[in-house]
Amino acid sequence: MDWLNNACFYEIYPQSFKDSNGDGIGDFNGIIEKLDYIKELGCNGIWMNPCFDSPFKDAGYDVRDYKKVAARYGTNEDLERLFVEAHKRGIKILLDLVPGHTSDEHEWFKDSKKAEPGEFKDRYIWTDFWYGEARNLRGIAGMADRNGIYVVNFFASQPALNYGFLNKTEKWQSDVDSPEAIATADAMCDVMKFWLSKGADGFRVDMADSLVKFDDDDKSATCKVWKRIISEVKKEYPEARLVSEWNRPRQSLPAGFDMDFMLNWTGNGYDLLLRDTGSEKPSPIFKKDSKRDINDFLNDYLPQYEDTRESGRYCLITGNHDTDRVSYYLDEDERKVAFAFLLTMPGAPFIYYGDEIGMRYMKELPSKEGGYTRTGSRTPMQWDDSETAGFSTADKADFYLPIDSDLRGKNAREQMAKEGSLYNTVKEVIALRKANEDLLDNGNLDFVLREQGRREFGFKRGNLLIVVNPSEKACTVDYSDVKIKQLSEKKYSIGDVKADKGAIEMGPVSFGVFAIS
Ligand code: GLC
Ligand code: CA
């Protein structure tokens, strides 16, 4: 059985997790110190944000050297030790692969930007004249001696790697099967194999849909590139697992990815579930007084889930390093129920570090390393309520980012000690998931109660019934509402949940898991 079937991931932003040497920045040895914490929570996988050599203009998503880790996190040997220590505890590690662009300080780019470029002349996308436009793409002019404009994928410091164009209209564009486009893909294969040979278990793949430029609207050409890369890598490392930042499982999973994320795109089903970022007054489904019902999520999620369940996993996240932390939108009780929902759905759930202890979104923080509004979700992990939050022995002024000024109730030590805390809820639901085959990825999913306009909802996973009441009002769910005759036992609940004489009585903001007899 594929280990992803019972995987539960923990995302680590390495600069902010745990500092072991007192320089104020998290590092590999710090993560090693805290592996037992991750294990105790019940996670058996880690996704670690980029940890490679970088000028950090986009927090490491601007890679200067794919095969060397950033000195601030330790050495390549320290990372290898992290793999070994994680494996000892039954935890797998996915590194973050950035295949679409590099830093403008990468050796390939330094060569390609010269007036007379050498071996890497076509590793990036350059027009053939210093003036004008790069057709519909974002181009940067005037920064290099080369007579041309380079195309960027994200920030100006992140030149796009050349995987070719599907419909070539200019002579400076490469075909998708040109030697230079193939060479870029081969270089990425090489990077992947390098880290897999050192003990990595796979990759989270950044902007995975960004490779081939227009008019690859249906992404069929990008998918073709991935099919080749992934089959090449899996030939040697069949155990490697990959999750794409794509949010189109109908494209990404058949292309060979094992998992895809449902992402925080304003107004999509996932956004409406926990955040509702497009509204002036956010009112996500899991907010007590929301007028929304679960269909706002399901109408987006279910068709994609159903179309792709045989080819891979469509994964739900509590948040990530790009999203506002969910605590900004939902109170602690709402989050308990919301996270319990995420953790009982198919796919492999991903918990963003600190979400399990209720860390806040520090909205007002000035931008750090290209974080902008994302910076507030990247602050140091709150291990305890001491001056330094147990993050580092450095002077607080030297911390990578400031810690929250109010740590009460929002630190690991306190959360772990308190019965019924958010941390303990998350931990218990992960344990429940692992103890019940029906809750794992391959268990089936049947939304039996999803009535328009009705706040409470219910779904079956095999022989389990899960009922959720996100509302501030109590409700009654009749057995006939959820198409069952009899329940045998209550397996888990949050808030007041009682099954009695043909109905389930649910208090405000509650969640229950029952065995069906
Ligand atoms: C992805 C990353 C984000 C980064 C961007 C450019 O969206 O998650 O943090 O800034 O790609 O690499
Ligand atoms: Ca450090």
pLDDT digits (tens, 9 = 90+) for 399-424: 999 999 999 999 999 999 999 999 99
pLDDT more than 70, % of the chain: 100
- Beta-bridge partner residues of 94: 47, 202
Tell me the average pLDDT of the chain: 97
Smallest Cα–Cα separation from 255: which of 439, 99, 43?
Answer: 99
Q: Is 98 in the pocket of ligand 1 (CB under 6 A)?
A: yes
User: 88 Cβ partners below 8 Å, 6+ apart?
Assistant: none
Phi, psi of 210 (to 5 degrees): -95, 5
Confidence band of 123 (pLDDT split at 50, 70, 90) = very high
Shortest-distance Cα residue to atom 4 of ligand 1: 61
Residue 293 CA to residue 299 CA, distance in Å, equals 11
Average of per-residue pLDDT across 208-224: 95
- Measured from the Cα of 61, ligand 1's closest atom is 12
How close is the Cα of 318 to the center of ligand 1, in Å?
17
Shortest-distance ligand to the CA of residue 73: 2
Give me the pLDDT at residue 375, please.
98
How close is the Cα of 24 to the center of ligand 2, in Å?
6
What are the start-end ranges of the E strands in 276-376?
313-315, 350-352
Compute the CA torsion angle 247, 98, 201, 306 (nearest 10 deg).
Answer: 10
How close is the Cα of 126 to the center of ligand 2, in Å?
38
Average of per-residue pLDDT across 324-334: 98
CB-based neighbours (< 5 A) of ligand 2, an ion: 19, 21, 23, 25, 27
pLDDT digits (tens, 9 = 90+) for 342-366: 999 999 999 999 999 999 999 999 9
Residue 120 CA to residue 513 CA, distance in Å, equals 57
Phi, psi of 47 (to 5 degrees): -110, 120
| pLDDT at residue 517 is higher than 90 | no
CB atoms within 10 A of CB 517: 10
| pLDDT at residue 501 is higher than 90 | no
Shortest-distance ligand to the CA of residue 17: 2
How close is the Cα of 44 to the center of ligand 2, in Å?
24
Shortest-distance ligand to the CA of residue 400: 2
Give me the pLDDT at residue 215, please.
87
Average of per-residue pLDDT across 424-428: 98
| pLDDT at residue 304 is higher than 90 | yes
Confidence band of 214 (pLDDT split at 50, 70, 90) = confident
Ligand 1, from 138, 317, 322: best to mutate by most atoms within 8 Å of Cβ?
322
Average of per-residue pLDDT across 255-263: 98
Strands 313-315 and 259-261: parallel
| pLDDT at residue 147 is higher than 90 | yes
Residue 31 CA to residue 17 CA, distance in Å, equals 7
Compute the CA torsion angle 193, 198, 200, 204 (nearest 10 deg).
Answer: -40
Give me the pLDDT at residue 90, please.
98
Confidence band of 270 (pLDDT split at 50, 70, 90) = very high
Give me the pLDDT at residue 1, please.
83
Cβ atoms of residues 301 and 262 within 8 Å: yes
